[in-house]
Structures are given as structure tokens and as C-alpha cells.
Amino acid sequence: MLVSTQQVLREEPLLTQIAFSRLLAWLDDGLESHGERYLEMRRRLVAYFDRRGRSNADELADETLTRIARTLEQDGHIETTPPARYCYVVARFVLLEDFRREKRHGRLGTVWHIEQTHAAAAAPTAADREDRLDCLDRCLDELTADQRALIVEYYAETRRQGIDRRRSLASRLGITMNALAIRACRIRDTLQACIERCRRAPKASGPAVLSRWTGNPR
Amino acid sequence: MTTESQLVDYLLGRLRDPEAERLDEASLVDDAIASRLRAVENDLVDAYVRGTLRGETLARFEGHYLSSPVRRDNVAFARRFARAIDRASVATPAPAAPFVFAHRTMRKLSMAAAIVVAACSVALLREAARPGGGAAAGRPLSSVGAEGADIPRQTDLRAVRDAAPDGRRLPAARIEPPASPAAAAVALVLLPQTRAVGPVPALRVPLQTGRVTFELRLEGGERGTYVVALRDPSVNRLVWRTRATSTAGGALTVVVPASILRAQHYSLDLFADGAASDADVLGSYVFEIASR
């Protein structure tokens, strides 16, 4: 019987609470991040699998973290440091296995991929657009005035004058250009993540999610 | 040391395997590289949605980067984000320069802008007056100026959404009517919107005018097929739209019936052909009808 990658991954049992707690603590590596480190690593893993052409990047990122959590649950610790390096090692195995799986079950994998591509290419409905606008509205509302001012100035122009303005902004804030870029990216990422969560979650939960990860309680 | 150019090449799939694998690892393990990569990716996507990518980079972006649904989502978000940022940045005045400098500079710029606009408009009218042209031979341009008129203010990003409680869908009615060759016409050339808060182009439209021709210059001479809609900011609604129109010479020519224009501010909003919602605006060209 042929099975798709999706089905193979879904057969794995769910993580226990203990395993997930250990995973969060291990990723924090001694510094309490309230789950931010987990979200950041998951985002990096999704981007990694996506850049390697995997259409199921989300699933593979979860699979990577699940394997690490199980190891932590069984062994209590992982020698390799820093944690991100171990994540990369496991991610490579997961990637190779997915390549092999695709080769073995290529026909169904292809069908699945085509279905996904079509689904992704389908034009969003008016309701989708409304949801996105509502979520953008609510998530923007969660930003502080300083955060809004920063991203407006940082992203307003991307060409030469934009670079000069970014330099001037960094100077005014007393931080390096690199630190400014990280700050701006973080706000943008949290905004984007907030919108995604808002779209998936019941209507009232978007802002609460953003507050949690931006550290700006209302 | 990884350069920004290498990061762009990595994102566009232009690096050879050993170098790509090094960055694969660094993108997960090295916080500094991961942050820089994210910043570079955001700038790359922003450049795409703002239409400033060119040549092989644009081709690679469309051929490689956009092949993934995850990355297409990034682009979709960047489009909405850029629109919100642009509206908010227009509402945020730039730091004020000394008055004398600002006054003299603005006067010179206004005069220069008026000359350029007038010259372009005359050329546009001549073009429109040719047999088969989009607009009939018009009367001389009645008035094209750049007297100061403020772009409607918005206080912050929140206001971008507050300002659009309804009228999000592109109006189906009031599609561009056939031009009447006998009617008088005036014309105005509008340049791509920039962050700078400058004078809004103003146009005086005599009562006998049948239609007003606008030439919308697209940033970087972008080509394609678009729909242009007229937004009345006093009610924040799209009140009129064109059919799908193709660019010519990096510009779109839009003929608006003068009868629907009153003495107030308007914007001509640019949409991709097939856009279903007015949330997908690609650019706005603000102008003022000075009098009727």
C-alpha cells in the first residue's frame, strides 16, 4: 500500500507534556524565553525545509522538534551544544528521510504535492480577505506607539534614502544598524505570526497571542 | 564573513551546494546569520512588492522564490504590510527644515513640478488627440498647479484600517463609459507616490469639460495590466473604475468622466487586473480638483 509523507508523519504519536516542557527548557539553554526560543527555532526549521524544496515544511519542522523532545524525555539530556546545532543535525536526517520517502512513494507524493500547489494557488475568498484585514487591524492595534513608529520609519523606503534613514534611526536610538534590523524584523515577524494565529484562532484571541510574544501586556 | 549579496543569492537558490549547505546550517545555528538572513529576505520581498527588482534577480525571484507556498504567503503579507506602512508614512511628516530653506526650496520645486506636469500634460493631450487616441482633442489645459494642499491625514497605522470600514470591494458599477469625442478634456500627469509629503497636484476643471485624462506613471516603468479606481476620501469609497488597462511606456492612461468629479481631493488607486478587493491596492495617486 502506498502512503504519502503526510500520512507517515501523522502516524507518529503526540508528545507528552513532560517531553514538551523539557524541549522548551532545553532550547532556552538556561535563559527563560517563555517559549520564544521554541517559536524562533520552529520558524527557522520551517524556512530551512522550505528552502530545500519541501512542500510539507511545517510538518517536517514539527517532526524534528518531536524527535528531539522524545530523546530528552527518554535520556534526560542531550550532549551536543548549542541546542540549535543539534536541531540542525536532526533536521538533516528528517530531510534525508523525507527525500527517500518521496522517492519510494513518488506517485502519491506527487499527487499530494500537486493538490497542495493547487490549494495554495487558489485565489483567496472575500471572506479570507476580510479575515486578514480584521486580523491586521487587531494585530496592529497591539503594537506600542514606539513599535509602530519604528517599523514605519524602517520599512518606509527600501532604496538609497531608506538606508540613510535607517542609519539615522539607529543613531537616534543609540543602537547599531544590525540591532535595528533585528528589532524591526522581530516586530514584523510578530505581526505576521499574530495575523496567522488570529486567522486560525477564534475571533478574540489574536491580540492576546501577540501580547504574549512581544512582551507588551495590555 | 557572509555578505548581503551572498544571502540574497542563497535565498534565490543561486549558491553552489557547499556554500548553500554552510548557510543552511548557519541559518539554524548562528543567531547573527539567522537575523541577517531574515532582514535581507524581508528587504528582498519588499523590493519585489514595490516593483524595484530588475533583470535576472527579478526572474530568479519569480522562478525560484515564488515556487513555495510559504514564501508566497510572505509576499502576500509584505504587500499588505507595505501598503499599511506607506499610508502611515505619508501621515507622518518628515522632520521640519528651517523655514526659509523649506519655503524657497518648496517654491522652486513647485515651479519645476508645475512645468514638468504641464509639459507632460500637453504632450498627453496631443497624443490623445491623434486619430484613434484615447481622448478627443481637448481645449488648452486650463490649469495645472502644485499649490499646497495636504494629503488627508492619518494618525497612525491603525487609521489605515479605520479609514476603510466599508467599500472594500471594487465597485462593479460605473465602469468607464465610452469617451465622447466632442467633449472638452483636461489632463494631468501623476507621478508614483513617494514617502515625502509634498504638494498635491491640483487641477482646475471647467464646467464644460467632458472628461479628465490622467497619465499615471508607474514606478520604474513597470508593465502590466491594471484596473484603476477613483477613491473619494470624503467617504473613503471607490466611486468609479476602469476596465483592465495595459501600460504603455511605463504609464497608464485613464480617462475619468468630469461629471463625477467635485472640488475636493481624490486618489486614483491602482489594482492588479483580477483583484477582488480594494485591500489589494498596489499604489495610490493623490490629486485635488481645485474648482469646477
Backbone angles phi, psi at A174, to 5 degrees: 70, 35
Is the pLDDT higher at B31 or at A113?
Answer: B31
Percent of chain B, pLDDT > 90? 20
Task: Tell whether A118 is within 8 A of chain B (Cβ).
Answer: no
Mutate to test the interface with A, among B157, B160, B168, B278 (most CBs of A within 10 A): B157
> pLDDT value at position B231?
82
The winner for highest mean pLDDT among A158-162, B100-104, B238-242 is: B238-242
Chain A positions touching B156 (Cβ under 8 A) are 145, 148
Distance from CA of B17 to the nearest CA of A (A): 11
Average pLDDT (A47-64) is: 94
Q: Tell me: pLDDT of A85 over 70.
A: yes
Q: What is the pLDDT of residues B116-125, one digit of tens each?
A: 555 555 555 5
Q: Tell me: pLDDT of B90 over 50.
A: yes
What chain B residue is nearest to A139 in terms of C-alpha separation? Answer: B158
d(CA B15, CA B158): 41
Is the pLDDT higher at B244 or at B153?
Answer: B244
What chain A residue is nearest to B163 in terms of C-alpha separation? Answer: A137
Closest CA to A140 of B262, B185, B154: B154
Average pLDDT (B136-151) is: 32
Distance from CA of B84 to the nearest CA of A (A): 9
The winner for highest mean pLDDT among A100-104, A128-132, B94-98 is: A100-104
> pLDDT value at position A134?
73
Chain A positions touching B81 (Cβ under 8 A) are 155, 188, 191-192
Average pLDDT (B58-66) is: 92
Contacts of A213 by beta carbon, 8 Å cutoff, 6+ apart? A35, A36, A39, A190, A193, A194
- Where in chain B is CATH 2.60.40.1930? 90-291
State the pLDDT confidence band at B150, using cuts at 50, 70 and 90: very low
Which cell goes with B218?
A: 508607474
> pLDDT value at position A107?
40
- For cell 508593465, what's the residue? B223
State the pLDDT confidence band at B270, using cuts at 50, 70 and 90: confident
Average pLDDT (A112-129) is: 50
Asked if the Cβ–Cβ distance from B70 to A46 is below 8 Å, we say yes
> pLDDT value at position B15?
93
**Cα Rg of chain A (Å, integer):** 20
CATH of segment(s) B90-291: 2.60.40.1930
The winner for highest mean pLDDT among A100-109, B45-54, B172-181 is: B45-54
Asked if the Cβ–Cβ distance from B169 to A126 is below 8 Å, we say yes
Mean pLDDT score of chain A: 77
Average pLDDT (A173-194) is: 89
Mutate to test the interface with A, among B22, B42, B92 (most CBs of A within 10 A): B42
Task: Tell whether A113 is within 8 A of chain B (Cβ).
Answer: no
> pLDDT value at position A216?
41
Strands in B184-190's sheet, in edge-to-edge order, are B184-190, B209-217, B251-257
Is the pLDDT higher at A13 or at A103?
Answer: A103
Asked if the Cβ–Cβ distance from B168 to A184 is below 8 Å, we say no
State the pLDDT confidence band at B215, using cuts at 50, 70 and 90: confident
Asked if the Cβ–Cβ distance from A185 to B39 is below 8 Å, we say yes
> pLDDT value at position A210?
41
> pLDDT value at position A197?
81
State the pLDDT confidence band at B115, using cuts at 50, 70 and 90: low
Which residues in chain A (52-71) have CB-CB distances under 8 A to chain B? Answer: 52-53, 55, 57-58
Q: Tell me: pLDDT of A42 over 80.
A: yes
Cα(first)–Cα(last) distance of chain B, in Å? 62
